[in-house]
Amino acid sequence: MVSIQSKWRYLFMFLGIQLVVMALLSREGYQKRVTYFIRIFRKPDASGFSGRNHSAAGINGGDVYANLSHLSKAHIHADEMPYCPKKSPFVRGPIHVSFPSGLTLAQVQKKNPLVVRGGRYRPPDCEARHRTAIIIPHRHREHHLKFLLYYLHPFLQRQQLSYGIYVIHQAGNYTFNRAKLMNVGFREAMREEDWDCLFFHDVDLIPEDDRNTYVCDANPKHAAIAMDKFGYKLPYKMYFGGVSALSPLHYLKMNGFPNNYWGWGGEDDDIGIRVSLAGMYISRPSLKVGRYKMIKHKLDKGNDVNPKRFNMLAKTRQTWKLDGMNTAEYEIISRQYLPLYTNITVFIGTEAGLHAAPPPPLKPAGKAEAEPAAKPVAEVPANIQAKGPAEPAAKLKEGPSEE
């Protein structure tokens, strides 16, 4: 016969075992499976933004198009239009980002009926508080552009911005020059409209949280603070690459971006140093909000690693006023007002100048790292370091993303 005392003992043992099993299951690694099971038993949320949308880790997120179909063409006269609220009611938080095959530009167009010629948009029912231009440096990345447009249009509409998307396409096959294309984008976009903020945006970076507002701060803003490529952390304190936002005043104050970084690397750090040299700070959103997914890719043909980048970076203090927006020379080849964006194809010349014969090609990428004067970017002299937030300087993982 089992005594009452031993019954209690069995009960405690059973509860103890349950506790151990639960502790094991909730350990890292099991967490996803536990979440998965919990989700199976949870009722789906009809709003399209379920609780998972607010998961801190952002494992999943909401549909970037959710609730946008409520927007329709305005019936209100422009003069009677109220200002949009300070905080958009469409902003919800994490966004689910994936790259399904078979997406077409025609589908993106259909999903964005309020976007007009040249990739322009304004909220239909209120007067936007901000006017933002997106500048995308581009060559041979049409596949990435399609995904960016798919996500960026509804992302910006969620924020009730008045916006325009400009793709600055480098003509020809000469070495790519990201920063010079940004200078072209700045001048050409400002020529068209009085934008109050410009977002300089790599084509392969997809924002994963709509609280990352595409408006300018009092100081130049580095928006792509947490990329999946760098483990959702800032790779080093001075990093200013991927996506950054400057007002026209910020841009002119730092003489724009450099024109002479041909090939991969260095130009983003030069820009970061310019911010500081012009007496400004780098502002950043939080790590939770400034999250981006980079579409996986290899280093492009025509964009070899620039072996001169460290030597050039060491001289930014002497060069920033002599090279930049005030010396950007280029020739516009075409300007097309396409349904989802304005495409500006531009000839930016070569290292030798706009029409001079091109110099010999860069050294092969492998040898470049062996340069004696090479200096790691993370060691930018302290006197010109921007005073951004004190992030722990993670080990610099330099190098283009590989698949």
Binding residues (CB under 6 A) for ligand UDH: these are 137-141, 176, 178, 202-204, 241, 264-265, 268-269, 300, 302-303, 377, 398, 400-401
What's the closest the beta carbon of residue 264 comes to ligand UDH, in angstroms? Answer: 6
The residues binding Mn ion (CB under 5 A) are 204
Instruction: Name the binder of 140 from ligand UDH, Mn ion, none, CB < 5-8 A by kind.
Output: ligand UDH
Alpha-carbon torsion, ordered 88, 90, 96, 97, to 10 deg: -70
Asked whether the beta carbons of 175 and 204 are under 8 A apart, the reply is no
Instruction: Name the binder of 236 from ligand UDH, Mn ion, none, CB < 5-8 A by kind.
Output: none
Question: Which residue lies nearer to Mn ion by CB, 48 or 400?
Answer: 400
What's the closest the beta carbon of residue 55 comes to ligand UDH, in angstroms? Answer: 26
What's the closest the beta carbon of residue 398 comes to ligand UDH, in angstroms? Answer: 5
Each as own residue / partner, the long-range contacts of residues 315-319 (CB below 8 Å, 24 or more positions apart, any chain) are 316/258, 316/270, 316/273, 316/274, 316/277, 316/384, 317/273, 317/277, 317/384, 319/258
Kindly tell me the sign of the dihedral angle through the C-alpha atoms of 115, 120, 123, 124.
Answer: negative
Question: Which residue lies nearer to Mn ion by CB, 297 or 375?
Answer: 297
Place of tokens 């199976």: 40
Instruction: Name the binder of 209 from ligand UDH, Mn ion, none, CB < 5-8 A by kind.
Output: none
Asked whether the beta carbons of 320 and 378 are under 8 A apart, the reply is no
Instruction: Name the binder of 188 from Mn ion, ligand UDH, none, CB < 5-8 A by kind.
Output: none
Six-digit token string for 148: 């960016």
Give me the residue whose beta carbon is nearest to Mn ion: 204
C-alpha neighbours within 13 Å on the C-beta side of residue 268: 25
Question: Which residue lies nearer to ligand UDH by CB, 138 or 222?
Answer: 138
Question: Which residue lies nearer to Mn ion by CB, 204 or 267?
Answer: 204
What's the closest the beta carbon of residue 365 comes to ligand UDH, in angstroms? Answer: 12
What's the closest the beta carbon of residue 202 comes to Mn ion, in angstroms? Answer: 6
Separation CA 126–CA 117 (nearest Å): 20
